[in-house]
Amino acid sequence: MSTIYTHRDANIRKTWALMSVFFIVIIALGWAFRVAYNAPEVLYVAVFISIFMNFASYWWSDKIALAVSGARAVEKSEAPDLYNVVENLSITAGLPIPRVYVIDDPAPNAFATGRDPAHAAVAVTTGLLATLERSELEGVIAHELSHIGNRDILVATVVVVLVGLIALLSDLFLRMSHFGGRRRDSGGGRAHAFLLIAAILLAILSPIIGKLIQLAISRKREFLADASGALLTRYPEGLASALRKISAYGRPMVRANHATAHLFIASPFGAEGFTGFMNRIFSTHPPAEERIKALLGEHRV
């Protein structure tokens, strides 16, 4: 039978699996371009970057995610109500009190990040603080604290760095193929052309592989965090009401980013027009309507 504890252990194993897949993808990219250009240094650089970024993604990915989102640290005197909610619910959940950040953005949203409960942070937008009532804010913070307690943030935060770097390196290698394709051509003929085409295809497919890694983060983690948060506050209606308001806003966040989208309680891209439709297809979040029904007991997840 699955429990919060088995879910937590599974997320730790999933983190190591994601790091391993990332390592393999980067090495494959480096090897393909090393062969295509007869440049051993490309493979050495790829190995170094892979090892370094695996290390960095574990230790510093929370800082990167906060910086990308434009979050700023706030003191208790700046946001006393927010701090009180975070402190009270953290004590109730038996968790260390996370660092508190605010994002200057009118779109109501929030996320948690960090490698473990002792190094966690919670960030909320100014729009969330302006839109939600106390009970609704408690529901959102309880949801984010549940992600921390369930170790969801370990997987989700590491993915931010890994997916972003895969996209960056694939773009770099594609630029190499465009500007340096003739420099290394020493008459290898068809074999060289084939390897170069294979390397370019791999560079094109790598961001797709990265996106699949991101989508590997199960949507069930959101349902689990909703359920855990509702148990924490003993008031599921608060989170359900918050989800209604967040989903009703519709417009994207100012600094919406695909690398960090899965961290937020709701998609930072909104849900309007073609872009909204495409983001729902590739979203790691289940529809707000399903989450609300689950919270209010209208169907089982």
Provide the pLDDT for residue 300.
Answer: 43
Evaluate if residue 21 carries a pLDDT over 80: no
CATH 3.30.2010.10 assigned to domain 65-153+219-295? The reply is yes
Evaluate if residue 275 carries a pLDDT over 50: no
Distance CA 227, CA 54 (A): 32
pLDDT tens, position by position, 145-165? 999 988 777 777 667 666 666
CB 268 within 8 Å of CB 247: no
Q: Looking at residues 204-216, what average pLDDT do you find?
A: 65
What rounded mean pLDDT belongs to the chain? 79
Q: Looking at residues 187-191, what average pLDDT do you find?
A: 57
**Helix/strand/coil percent split, the chain, to 5:** 65, 5, 25
Quote the pTM value: 0.74
User: What are the residue ranges spanned by the domains of the chain?
Assistant: 4-61+156-215, 65-153+219-295
Query: Count of CB atoms within 10 A of residue 56's CB?
Result: 17
Give the pairing of strands 120-125 and 110-114: antiparallel
Give the pairing of strands 120-125 and 99-103: parallel
Q: Of the ranges 36-50, 118-132, 251-265, which one carries the lowest mean pLDDT score?
A: 36-50
Q: Looking at residues 85-91, what average pLDDT do you find?
A: 97
Provide the pLDDT for residue 259.
Answer: 72
Evaluate if residue 15 carries a pLDDT over 50: yes
Provide the pLDDT for residue 56.
Answer: 77
Q: Of the ranges 173-177, 226-230, 239-243, 259-263, which one carries the lowest mean pLDDT score?
A: 173-177
pLDDT tens, position by position, 28-79? 777 777 776 677 777 787 778 777 877 777 788 789 889 999 999 999 999 9
Provide the pLDDT for residue 48.
Answer: 82
Provide the pLDDT for residue 138.
Answer: 98
12/301: higher pLDDT: 12
Choose among 61, 62, 52, 50: nearest CA to 20.
Answer: 50
Confidence of residue 92 (pLDDT cuts 50, 70, 90): very high
Q: Active-site residues: which are they?
A: 144
CA distance to 21, 28, 35, 253, 262, per residue, from 112 (Å): 24, 32, 42, 17, 11
Distance CA 236, CA 229 (A): 8
